[in-house]
Amino acid sequence: MSNKTLAEVRALPVDSKFQSVGLVTELKEKRDKNDKPYWVMSVMDKSGALDAKIWGNAQWFDLKDGVKKEIAEPAASPLVRNLKGETVGLIGSITEFKGKPQYQFNQIWLVDQEREEYRPAAFIRAAGVPVDRLEAEFWQFVNGCGGEAGEFLRFVFQPDSATWQAFRTFPAAVAHHHAYLHGLLEHTLGVARSARAIAQSYQGTAYEPDLDVVVAGALLHDLGKLDTYALDPGPESTLEGTVLDHIATGYARFVRLADEFKLTPLTRTLLGHIILSHHGQKEFGSPVLPATPEAMIVAAADNLDFYLNSWHGSVEQLDGGMEADRAISDFDFSTQRRLWKWRPEQPR
């Protein structure tokens, strides 16, 4: 049996068996009704992600030093507890549970992380769009933005700066949305694209949003994620991300840059307000509510891009052969709903 990518595993029908290699992004130990341990493991590779159950009768093997050793009590093993961020070999099967495929890992192999075929960096999931296309679109936005807001953008995102090198690489989250290599860049472009389209649709109306402020605010809104996330090797929260969060760090970073650039008070307030209000509601982490058309537009675009990416992440594990009325995701906690992957009806 040859290794399959996780995307190939997801495409297999129920009752299939598979062999794969993945980077562990989450491993949670749970207890069944008899107080026996089992695990929920999330893994990724460049093709996508997969969540699977590991029942108590699964076999765990340590192959790190090239000698196969069974781990008899995985719940007590430090090797198992510290698997997050490591690649593992997997042998599993697919069953059906409540009308949906359920993935199980029946054998888990702990492997040498220094071997070329198992290096964690090779399994980091990336944005679905090639990064050169994302970069080209980003620079079109930056170079097409006028006024002081555009000048400030070109100051912040200098091509050879550490800010840009991190921005083009970082994830937008650890979970929930765009939690992969280049995810921050992909999300920022999704927000900028939608925000500009919304703002353009209101040109000539009583609202007349400033397109340059909208685009600049959209490109800067998640600047704080450069301080709150890292790739090590997969997406991780930093200490600042855990105790401050990205809106606070983003505004602090913006103020430092605005001081250095000598941004005028009006532009500083307009852009700073977008950064602080872009979650739209105080209960979602914004200390202030959007108070300008430009801030309202960026907050709406940010929310839309979050929901669309969350939809994609939830439904991508659904069996492609499901009937349209059964292609419903499990409950998605980030969006507080189940999500539907509908398809047009085929002609009879």
**Amino acid (1-letter code) at residue 220:** L
Task: Determine if the pTM surpasses 0.85.
Answer: no
Rounded average pLDDT over 46-69: 93
Q: How many CB atoms lie within 10 A of CB 299?
A: 24
Q: Check: CB of residue 43 under 8 Å from CB of residue 23.
A: yes
Residue with the larger pLDDT of the pair 2 and 279 = 279
Residues 169-226 have pLDDT tens digits of 999 888 767 888 899 999 999 999 999 999 999 999 998 999 999 999 999 999 999 9
Minimum mean pLDDT range among 32-41, 102-111, 234-243, 263-272: 234-243
* C-alpha torsion 22→26→27→29, nearest 10: -150
In sequence order, the 6+-apart residues with CB closer than 8 A to the CB of 174 are: 229, 235, 236, 237
Rounded average pLDDT over 9-38: 93
pLDDT-derived band of residue 231, with 50, 70 and 90 as boundaries? confident
pLDDT of residue 322: 55
pLDDT of residue 325: 61
Minimum mean pLDDT range among 23-27, 102-106, 286-290: 23-27
Rounded average pLDDT over 330-341: 84
> Cα–Cα distances in Å, from 344 out to 281, 324, 325?
36, 8, 11
pLDDT-derived band of residue 151, with 50, 70 and 90 as boundaries? very high
pLDDT tops 90 at residue 121 = no
Q: Is 346 helix (H, G, I), strand (E, B) or coil?
A: coil
Rounded average pLDDT over 19-34: 93
Angle at alpha carbon of residue 284, lines to 279 and 287, rounded to 5°? 70
Structure tokens at 5: 């990518």
Q: Can you list the domains of the chain with their CATH numbers?
A: 6-123 (2.40.50.140), 131-311 (1.10.3210)
Rounded average pLDDT over 158-172: 94
Q: Is 59 helix (H, G, I), strand (E, B) or coil?
A: strand
Residue with the larger pLDDT of the pair 323 and 90 = 90
